[in-house]
Structure 1
Amino acid sequence: MPPSENDNQSREPGSTHSDLSGISRDVVQAGSVSGGVHFHAHSAQDNPGGRVPRQLPAGVSGFVNRTDELRDLDEVLAGERPERPVVYVIAGTAGAGKTSLTLRWANQAQGHFPDGQLYINLRGYDPGKPITALEALHRFLTALGVPAAALPPDTEAAAAMYRSAPADRSMLIVLDNAATISQVRPLLPGNSRCLAVVTSRSRLSGLTVHAAARRLTIGTLKEPECVLLLRTVTAGYRPEDEAEQLIELARLCARLPLALRVAAERAASQPHLRIEELIADLRDESALWDTLSTGDEDESGAVRTVFAWSYRALPADSARLFRLLGLHPGPDFGVGAVCALAEIDTRRARQLLDGLVAAHMLEQTGPGRFEFHDLLRAYAIDQARVEESDESRAAALRRLLEWYLHTAGAAQTWIRPSREHVPFDEPAGGVKPLSFTDYDQAVDWAEQEQFNFLPAIRAAVKAGLDRHAWRFALVLWSAKAPSTPAAEWLTIGQIGLEAARRAGEPLGEAELFRSLGFTHVKINNMAGALESHGGALAIQRDLGHRQGEATALNALGLACLRWRRLPEAEAHFREAAAVFESLNSPHWNAVVLANLAAAHCQAGRLPEATDAIHRVLAYQREKNNKRSIGNALHLKSGVHLDRGELDEALQTAQEAVELALDLRSHVLEGYWLLALGHAQLAAGKSADALVSFHRSATLHRRLGDRSREALAWNGAGAVHQHEDRPEEAADFHRRAAATQHELGFHWHEAMALDGLAIALTGVDAAQSRRRWTDALELISYYDDPRAQAVRQRMEHHLTQTG
């Protein structure tokens, strides 16, 4: 029995591993084949897609004032380059205009940061949940070109990757609305060419101590500045009002820019009213608010007074939409979600949204996308609680959730059409889900709504809508955008699983277990994968659902195969095959037979593997299933190679890769190129093999499959050893061993150590023997024919070098 994936943490890794942290983020680059394969640090020039992020939102229109503050910020650019990253904290009370000031300056200064700008609203003071550091890191790393599957699932590892990702780049990072230092610290850059600007209502004093941050505290505006702001917003809409009256209006707004803009927009929209009437109206609203409040936080109370004053002036339909939008659980929303919430059509929704934006009660963030200022969202939530009945609020939320559920189902049809569809009830009246005409449309929607999915599921659970919650979680496994990190769906899936249990829906629970199992495989969590697939199997057996039982057994076998637990994998596959045979399911029989063949190949049981491969190939060629044909050919190439049939090995591997190219599948191409590279090397075509391994490593890097990327590195090491370049060979093998050790793939780690020992034989005999000793320890748990042969060869080498 091989050790679990966590056992490597207690085993002393030795010098081979201790000096190789972070190596798995390197990228294989082939210069000329004669020059070999080289490693380069990840940079803006060689990241996937060559992405230079440009994430800054546009600044507020008609920005005025804050000239002293803008000058202070400009001094950061004028000064000499510091020895550490510059961190600038802009602190101030709610509504003081921290974000407006920051975006104004950042958009002017972005030319000083040619490698890009990152921006995130951390929502530290939002009525909903704030953005965690891990969520923010995942968004930034994705923007920097890191594949979703390669994103680390924990904050510390993600922060380490983030600090190295923008190495040698000059970037501006804006961290807006931070509440705590813990939100901010992992997001600070790792080089002195970057600048991080943080806005917060808190002083975040710890950043001054630990990150040498500078701080700019902004307060309310001076009275002349208030007058300038009010006149700028109202210019052209009403006669110029007297300065003394505008100062009185400003005092009622606590001289806060957010409240001043809302008040100015109200004044601009009612040019027929004299300024004295507007001031009297606002003063009456203020008196009413004073009777309802405790008198604490005068500035906050003044802001809410202005909100109430502006809200009461809205037409009834606009006011209703404003308060219903407070029920939306996510950070932003599109027109379709608005239609579902308010039971209105698209044209009317756009009209009302435009009115709310014009009144500064809502912000438009992009084409058809909107969000609240956090203070306005809190006010909208309060108004919904006061003016909408419990039944009205529940019905609106239900409509919204059904819109998300059915629209996600439509997206799945394009994103993962082969996955079984979740059964839905008909949507409530007034709910018109989106439909999509192509794959790109579906993915665009999933990406736009990505950060609303988890809040929507949590809202469903809180409202007692468990059937909605688990169905939504399950459909999202298939409908999420391909760029979504696996760890993000993991949280959604776990919430859905618990909802299915509460709802008494065991089939839903089983399907969520299965999806969780596949997700754990993607993040290299063997224990989680086995536990989840085992949970699915137990439920399917309890229900007497034979088809479900067999698919769960096959999934368990695949998880065991991935970690080379071959006896268990084979037992699961055989049990699944027996069930599929009894159900007369030839398709599934062929699938499981191919998986059995893969287990036989890994174990070195060539006669059994050959027989299974021939049967699979015959069936899949008859069905013209290119993907399955290519998989069988990939396995067949390995059998030929083991038998020394080099021409046949080369031919079948090449055919498999050509099928992958026909299918336009980088997943298949990258994996099957490994077989082609080994066949080319065995046939003496070392230059071709190096190209194949390079291409495989590049594809797997972009796909985020670090283990298979390391397999390509190990292949490149074998090529260099064949060409009598032991130092370069050792470098590749070290990198491969370190990555496989980190991921817990013990067999692959042992094979990389074997290659390293061979490379070191004529360079450092003592080190060579230690690597073989380490490798023998790793494979001592395996007793299949291939493991026995490898063990005998290593022991022979130790004897010869002793």
Structure 2
Amino acid sequence: MSGGVHFHDHHGNGPRSPRPRQLPLEVRGFVNRTAELAELNAVLTDENEDGGDRAVSVCVIAGTAGVGKTALALRWTHQIQERFPDGQLYINLRGYDPGAPVGAYDALRRFLIALGIAGDEVPNNTDDAAALYRSLLADRRMLVLLDNANAVAQVRPLLPGNSRCLVVVTSRGRLSGLAVHDGAHRITLGTLPDPDAVALVRAVTAGFRSADDDEKLSELARLCARLPLALRIAAERAVTRPHTGLDELIADLRDESALWDTLDTGDEEESGAVRSVFSWSYRALPDDAARMFRLLGLHPGADFGIAAAAALAGISVRRARHLLDVLVGAHVLEQTAPDRFEFHDLLRAFASDQARQEEPRGGQEAALRRLLDWYLHTADAAQALVNPGEERVALDPPAEGVSPPAFSEYDQAVDWSERENTNFLPVVRAAEKAGFDRHAWQIPVVLWNARGPYTIVSPRRRRGLRHAGDGRLRRVRRRSLAGPAPVQPRRDPQPARAAPAGTRGDPPEPR
């Protein structure tokens, strides 16, 4: 599980319970927002001195895309986390990603597992899972950060039943229902005032461009609509050209803005500014890094590892690591763990758009085929460790440029499945949509045969996998679709068993 789980003796006695510490790292170079931080801190003054109930237990940070909602939430939650000794839970609900948002049930399942519930003991419906979640938090003081929510229905099942816990929600919407029915306190972020925007640019460029003029920095900030996301990207571009005058950089960005203005269809000013900055930064990337950026826009999942990125681009893992470092350094990609990366939802949409515009259709299909082959053959390698006696599905060789890992230990195979859990269904759906029929049924069947990793997938996602492919999986052997296999302890693979017919080649015909 991301964020790790630590164990402690609750209130000094009784059985040990998990203490999740899931907050991501703070944004580097955070500046200003002092008034908003003070307003948020005022919420905490309502609690009793002994840590009892507080008047407000839900805070909503709302604002337009790229305005710094997550950065503010992370700054504040890191500052106050010691007030919540039972730990912190975090999830990105992906309410505005190009793909499907995270549903309340899937979020509950992840939280329950982080709180010590075994995967096969998680209730299989939202109401029961939410009831168990509230029971587990009834006597705890826990901090919960729900990032990028797009609807009250995503959030309400994740609210604890006691007001000693604090829930922080970020959203582009107002989520008025939480204020009306749940007593939420809402802060709406605006774009940065001009002095604060200039201070942010100076914080990012510190040590590289100390002689830049405040008036010119103000013009640069205006072209970025004073949005923190756009400001950080523009400032990083300035860092990479320390000997280029601001006048030239501003002229380049102004030219890019003019191009977008001619293509604009009436979107708000902030949206046009963000597109301009994205394009300006993207065009400054080295060719191979720009190709990696746009190909990553084809990945159907929420996040990805280095090996998956290497497969998409058809390059070595070593080369992929270097290019990902370039993208992280340009602030167009976020690194969430030593081997995990994700896009801001706006940048993911931009990358996908660039792939459609600049990659020939055959190149897009070849990249997706490499990615699907990587998932398929990596799942097959996991099967070999988790259930070595199971008859293997006959697979075509992977495409050129794809090097699936060879797991050496059982735990490595299960860990890979945990990390990629949320990507399995989007990958299968992408295969179906692109017409890669064999991948659309073989990936779920191989995952099922691996059994140990497959049982990590939630029941709802498992049902989605079963029905992916417009009925193809319903034609797969009956045993594969009968129900989840029991979860096995790590380091104790299941005994071998014979596989029924129908696990090789194309799926069997309907009976």
TM-score for the superposition, normalised by structure 2: 0.90
Q: Residue 323 of structure 1 is aligned with which of 294, 299, 303?
A: 294
- SS state at 2:170 partner: strand
Kept in 2: contact 1:69–1:216 (CA 8 A)? yes
The one-letter code sitting in structure 1 at the alignment partner of 2:311 is: A
Equivalent residue, structure 1, for 2:312: 341
Q: Residue 40 of structure 2 is aligned with which of 73, 93, 118?
A: 73
CA distance in structure 2 between the partners assigned to 1:208 and 1:185 by the alignment:
11
The one-letter code sitting in structure 2 at the alignment partner of 1:186 is: P
Equivalent residue, structure 1, for 2:70: 99
CA distance in structure 1 between the partners assigned to 2:192 and 2:56 by the alignment:
31
CA-CA distance at 1:438 after TM superposition: 0.6
Kept in 2: contact 1:44–1:50 (CA 8 A)? no
Query: Is the counterpart of residue 273 in structure 1 residue 244 in structure 2?
Result: yes
CA-CA distance at 1:62 after TM superposition: 1.0
In structure 2, relative to structure 1, the CA distance for the partners of 1:43 and 1:80 (3 Å cut) is closer
Equivalent residue, structure 2, for 1:567: none
> Which residues in structure 2 correspond to 1:317-716 (within 5 Å)?
317-479=288-450, 480=453, 483-495=456-468, 498-500=471-473, 509-510=476-477, 513-519=478-484
- SS state at 1:190 partner: coil
CA-CA distance at 1:520 after TM superposition: 8.8
Deviation track 1:601-660 (CA, whole Å, cap 9, x = no partner) reads xxxxxxxxxxxxxxxxxxxxxxxxxxxxxxxxxxxxxxxxxxxxxxxxxxxxxxxxxxxx
Query: Is the counterpart of residue 52 in structure 1 residue 19 in structure 2?
Result: yes
CA-CA distance at 1:46 after TM superposition: 6.4
The one-letter code sitting in structure 2 at the alignment partner of 1:63 is: F
CA-CA distance at 1:332 after TM superposition: 0.4
- SS state at 1:319 partner: helix
Kept in 1: contact 2:58–2:167 (CA 8 A)? yes
Equivalent residue, structure 2, for 1:640: none
CA distance in structure 1 between the partners assigned to 2:74 and 2:268 by the alignment:
27
Q: Residue 115 of structure 2 is aligned with which of 131, 144, 149?
A: 144
Count of matched residue pairs: 479
CA-CA distance at 1:84 after TM superposition: 6.7
CA distance in structure 1 between the partners assigned to 2:31 and 2:191 by the alignment:
14
Kept in 2: contact 1:490–1:519 (CA 8 A)? no
CA distance in structure 2 between the partners assigned to 1:84 and 1:139 by the alignment:
28
- SS state at 2:207 partner: coil
CA distance in structure 2 between the partners assigned to 1:349 and 1:117 by the alignment:
33
CA-CA distance at 1:488 after TM superposition: 3.1
CA distance in structure 2 between the partners assigned to 1:483 and 1:325 by the alignment:
26
Q: Residue 173 of structure 1 is aligned with which of 138, 141, 144?
A: 144
Q: Residue 61 of structure 1 is aligned with which of 3, 8, 28?
A: 28
Deviation track 1:340-369 (CA, whole Å, cap 9, x = no partner) reads 100111111111100000000000000111
- SS state at 2:137 partner: coil
In structure 2, relative to structure 1, the CA distance for the partners of 1:378 and 1:184 (3 Å cut) is same
Query: Is the counterpart of residue 209 in structure 1 residue 174 in structure 2?
Result: no
Deviation track 1:776-801 (CA, whole Å, cap 9, x = no partner) reads xxxxxxxxxxxxxxxxxxxxxxxxxx
Kept in 2: contact 1:473–1:496 (CA 8 A)? no
Deviation track 1:391-446 (CA, whole Å, cap 9, x = no partner) reads 11111001100000000100111122233222111111111111111111111111
Kept in 2: contact 1:471–1:496 (CA 8 A)? no
- SS state at 2:322 partner: helix
CA distance in structure 2 between the partners assigned to 1:515 and 1:326 by the alignment:
32
The one-letter code sitting in structure 2 at the alignment partner of 1:56 is: L
In structure 2, relative to structure 1, the CA distance for the partners of 1:435 and 1:496 (3 Å cut) is farther
Query: Is the counterpart of residue 232 in structure 1 residue 203 in structure 2?
Result: yes
CA distance in structure 2 between the partners assigned to 1:418 and 1:133 by the alignment:
37
> Which residues in structure 2 correspond to 1:756-775 (within 5 Å)?
none
CA distance in structure 2 between the partners assigned to 1:337 and 1:296 by the alignment:
34
- SS state at 2:38 partner: helix
CA distance in structure 2 between the partners assigned to 1:136 and 1:478 by the alignment:
26
Kept in 2: contact 1:148–1:486 (CA 8 A)? no
Kept in 2: contact 1:149–1:486 (CA 8 A)? no
Kept in 2: contact 1:466–1:500 (CA 8 A)? no
CA RMSD of superposed structures (Å): 2.3
Kept in 1: contact 2:120–2:486 (CA 8 A)? no
Give the structure with higher Rg (CA).
1
The one-letter code sitting in structure 1 at the alignment partner of 2:419 is: Q
In structure 2, relative to structure 1, the CA distance for the partners of 1:46 and 1:383 (3 Å cut) is farther
CA-CA distance at 1:247 after TM superposition: 0.4
CA-CA distance at 1:493 after TM superposition: 2.3
Kept in 1: contact 2:56–2:184 (CA 8 A)? no
Kept in 2: contact 1:467–1:499 (CA 8 A)? no
CA distance in structure 2 between the partners assigned to 1:222 and 1:85 by the alignment:
28
Q: Residue 190 of structure 2 is aligned with which of 212, 219, 224?
A: 219
- SS state at 2:289 partner: helix
CA distance in structure 1 between the partners assigned to 2:54 and 2:316 by the alignment:
56
Query: Is the counterpart of residue 258 in structure 1 residue 232 in structure 2?
Result: no
CA distance in structure 1 between the partners assigned to 2:458 and 2:330 by the alignment:
37
Gaps of 5+ in 1: 1-41, 523-535, 550-802
Deviation track 1:181-237 (CA, whole Å, cap 9, x = no partner) reads 111111111111100000000000011111010001110000000111000100111
- SS state at 2:78 partner: helix
The one-letter code sitting in structure 2 at the alignment partner of 1:211 is: D
CA-CA distance at 1:45 after TM superposition: 7.2
CA-CA distance at 1:461 after TM superposition: 0.8
The one-letter code sitting in structure 1 at the alignment partner of 2:218 is: I
The one-letter code sitting in structure 2 at the alignment partner of 1:248 is: E
CA-CA distance at 1:80 after TM superposition: 2.5
Kept in 2: contact 1:364–1:370 (CA 8 A)? yes
Equivalent residue, structure 1, for 2:154: 183
CA-CA distance at 1:490 after TM superposition: 3.0
474-483 or 353-362: bigger deviation: 474-483
Kept in 2: contact 1:44–1:169 (CA 8 A)? no
Quote the sequence identity (%): 61
CA distance in structure 2 between the partners assigned to 1:520 and 1:51 by the alignment:
25
Equivalent residue, structure 1, for 2:132: 161
CA distance in structure 2 between the partners assigned to 1:262 and 1:251 by the alignment:
14
CA distance in structure 2 between the partners assigned to 1:234 and 1:287 by the alignment:
25
Kept in 1: contact 2:85–2:142 (CA 8 A)? yes
CA distance in structure 1 between the partners assigned to 2:72 and 2:431 by the alignment:
37
- SS state at 1:93 partner: coil
- SS state at 1:238 partner: coil
CA distance in structure 1 between the partners assigned to 2:309 and 2:425 by the alignment:
18
- SS state at 2:67 partner: coil
Equivalent residue, structure 2, for 1:89: 60
CA distance in structure 2 between the partners assigned to 1:281 and 1:202 by the alignment:
33
The one-letter code sitting in structure 2 at the alignment partner of 1:60 is: V
- SS state at 1:419 partner: coil
CA-CA distance at 1:496 after TM superposition: 5.6
Kept in 1: contact 2:97–2:345 (CA 8 A)? yes
Deviation track 1:90-110 (CA, whole Å, cap 9, x = no partner) reads 000000000000001111111
Deviation track 1:666-696 (CA, whole Å, cap 9, x = no partner) reads xxxxxxxxxxxxxxxxxxxxxxxxxxxxxxx
CA-CA distance at 1:452 after TM superposition: 0.8
In structure 2, relative to structure 1, the CA distance for the partners of 1:414 and 1:269 (3 Å cut) is same
- SS state at 1:418 partner: coil
In structure 2, relative to structure 1, the CA distance for the partners of 1:278 and 1:217 (3 Å cut) is same
CA distance in structure 2 between the partners assigned to 1:64 and 1:247 by the alignment:
16
Equivalent residue, structure 2, for 1:3: none
CA-CA distance at 1:483 after TM superposition: 4.1
The one-letter code sitting in structure 2 at the alignment partner of 1:498 is: G
